[in-house]
Structure formats: C-alpha cells, structure tokens
Amino acid sequence: MSLKNSNVKIKIPKLLIDKLNEKKINRIYKNFESSLNIKESFIVAVSGGPDSLALAFLSKIYSIKKKIVSKFFIIDHKLRTESSKEAKTVKEVLRRFSIQAEILSWHGSKPTSNIQSIARNNRYELLFNKCKKLKIKNILLGHHRDDLFENFFIRLSRGSGLKGLISLDKKTTFRNFYLLRPLLDQKKEDLIYLSKKVFNFYVQDPSNQNEKFQRIKIRKIIEELRRNGFDDENFSKTIKNLKYSNKVVIFYVDENIKKNAFFSLKNNRFVLNNDFFKQPYEVVFRSLSYCLKTISRKYYSVRGKKLDAILIKIKNNKFSKETLGGCIIEKVKHSIIISKEH
C-alpha cells in the first residue's frame, strides 16, 4: 500500500504526506524510522536550524504512524537580540505543518565565556524539567553524522581517551531520561535538503561562522580534509569499530562498580574499597567518573586532567580530601567516600 493510499488510515495531514512522498525525503524517513524504533512518548528539541527542523518533520510523521504522543519545544537561549523573534517564526512555520510547538526560554544572567557549553547545559535542564511535568522519558535531539565527526576531532584535540572520542551515541541515559539521536547516521546535507524542500526555511545561526568557537574551527578543518580526500564512509567505520572496543571497557567498568563500590541511596554517597583502584587505569578512571556523575547528577563528566590528578594521589597514598564536580571525595580509613558537596 502506498503512502497516499494509507493516508486515511494513519491520518497524516496531506501537506506532510505530499512532502513525504518525495523520493529522497521518503528515503531519509525510512532511515530515521529504523534508527528511532521506539513505542513510547517523546519530546523533540527544536532550535530552528536545518537539522532540528528535519527532526521535527520526521518525528511528527513517526508519532502519527506509531500512534504515540510527541511534544515539540523550541529553545530560546536569549543569547542574541533576535533569538526570541526567530523562535516565534519557527513556531509559526511548524504550526503550518500541524506541528504544535512550545517555546522554552532561558532566563537569567548570561555567561561571557564558555558560552556554548553553558547554553547546552541550560538547554538540557529546560528539557528535563518538561519531561518531569509530562512524565515522558524520551528526548529526541538533532545530532547528525557531521556532529559525530566534529565531536571526535574536538575530543582528539583535548587529548580524550576512547570514551571521549565516541561520546555521541544514538541512545544515552541520564537521570532516568533517554537522550535519543535518531539522525546520527544522516548527512547534514540531506537534512538541509529536507528542511528546504519541506519548510523552505531554516534559521542560520551567525555563531556557526564565528571562529572563536572551537567547534567552528574544527568544522572548517573537516571541510578542508574533505577537499583533500577525507572519506566520510571509512571514517564512520572507524568510529563504529572504536565503539565495539568501548563496549569491552564498559563491561569491566560495570563489573568494577558492582563488586568494589557500594552506593547508599539514603545518603546519596558511594563507598569505594581498595580493589576499586586495582583495576586497569581506564577502568578505574571511568568507574570513578561514573560515581561522580551519579552523585552530582550532572550530565557532563569532570575534565580528565582533574580526575587524573586525584587518581595519582590515591595511587601514591597521598590523598586525603578534595572537592570535584560538585562532589566531596574523602579518604576514610581504607575506603574512599564520595558524597554531594553542599
């Protein structure tokens, strides 16, 4: 049965169906559908860029076909004077395609440094709060294949280990929420094509041309590599192979935490025994990072250099007490106790 013939049954608005029947867009949708593959309600984060608008279109159709609830939220960081006007424009554009969206604004003082990182953290907090109110656990994000490549090179420039190099995944869990990235196999150029073809519109963020941001510098380096023969498909295979290796490390990290760490839900603290620190270094490093994230409830891990410094002190028996990542790390007799900093 064609999409047109099934239109009445699944009740997808004609305007959306007409766009979906275009050959290239239909191919993008099929890849999206197999990548997402969930049966529960979800919310969608929309910025107004081509990737997030493509995500809005694809996820709207998915929710109708699968008969599940979807909610759409436009994030207005208020970092630029025109951002609120842009958010309203995006809301109106989506409305024309039967996608009802709500604007979430980041209020309060704005940072003068580390802007993109702080904005990202606030964006997640806004989405988490909405999820709590709606009792929805799934959050769809618009990260695509180019983001995966950029993230790799950014982490490489920082001296990251295996986990950092492949930290973007299709599904990650945080605070009992699931962050889903169903576009991670999609090319940015295809998402731009979809947004132009469907909406004939997307927001062009001027920060995407500002080379004071590291991500933009890396983006230009990747563009230069492509001009000199950089193969996207082979690089995707490399990242996939690294992910297989990462799963092996994850297994031993889980074993270390299970056998050598005790978590007290009542006191919100970890007690780590001596054997916790006798594992291979990468296993100890990740295990300790996991404990800190669990206690602090922060989405991003602490920087590796700071964690390295503490592990060296513990290994040399020169550690007593420090604060890191919103946690207090303290040696008590033969154990290390991690609790939340007040």
pLDDT tens digits along 116-127:
777 888 888 999
- Give 75's strand partners: 104
Q: What is the mean pLDDT of residues 83-103?
A: 94
pLDDT: is 13 or 81 the higher one?
13
Is residue 215 assigned to a domain?
A: yes
Question: CA-to-CA distance for 340 and 342, rounded, in angstroms?
Answer: 6
Burial class (CB in 10 A: 0-12, 13-18, 19+), 56: buried
Q: Are 17 and 116 contained in the same domain?
A: yes
Domain total for the chain? 2
Structural domain for 83, as ranges: 7-230
195 and 279 co-located in one domain:
no
Task: State residue 213's pLDDT score.
Answer: 75
Distance CA 2, CA 213 (A): 46
Of the chain, the end-to-end C-alpha distance in Å amounts to 60
Q: Last residue of a domain, which of 173, 198, 230?
A: 230
Token pair 């290994």 is at which residue? 315
Q: Do 91 and 61 lie in a common domain?
A: yes
282 located within any domain: yes
Residues 259-277 have a mean pLDDT of 95
Unique residue bearing structure tokens 């208020």 = 78
Average pLDDT, the chain: 90
The tens digit of pLDDT for each residue in 198-216 reads: 999 998 866 666 666 788 8
**SS3 of the chain: helix, strand, coil, percent, to 5:** 55, 15, 30
Please tell me the least confidently modeled range out of 4-13, 83-92, 240-249, 293-302: 4-13
Same domain assignment for residues 86 and 212: yes
Note the pLDDT of residue 62. Answer: 97
Q: Strands 327-332 and 138-140: what pairing? A: unpaired
pLDDT of residue 311: 95
- Examine the fold and report which residue of 187, 206, 230 is the final residue of a domain before the chain moves on: 230
| pLDDT the model gives residue 2 | 40
Distance from C-alpha of 156 to C-alpha of 150, rounded to nearest angstrom: 10
Alpha carbon distance 200, 312 (integer Å): 55
Q: How far apart are CA 225 and CA 141, in angstroms?
A: 27
Read off the pLDDT of each residue in 227-240 and give the average, rounded to a whole number.
90
Check residues 181 and 77 and name the one with the higher pLDDT.
181
User: Do 253 and 208 fall within a single domain?
Assistant: no
Give 153-165 as a DSSP string: HHHHHTT--HHHH
Q: Which residues contact 295 (CB under 8 A, 6 or more apart)?
A: 268, 269, 270, 326, 327, 338, 339, 340
Range 191-197 average pLDDT: 96
Last residue of a domain, one of 230, 255, 288: 230
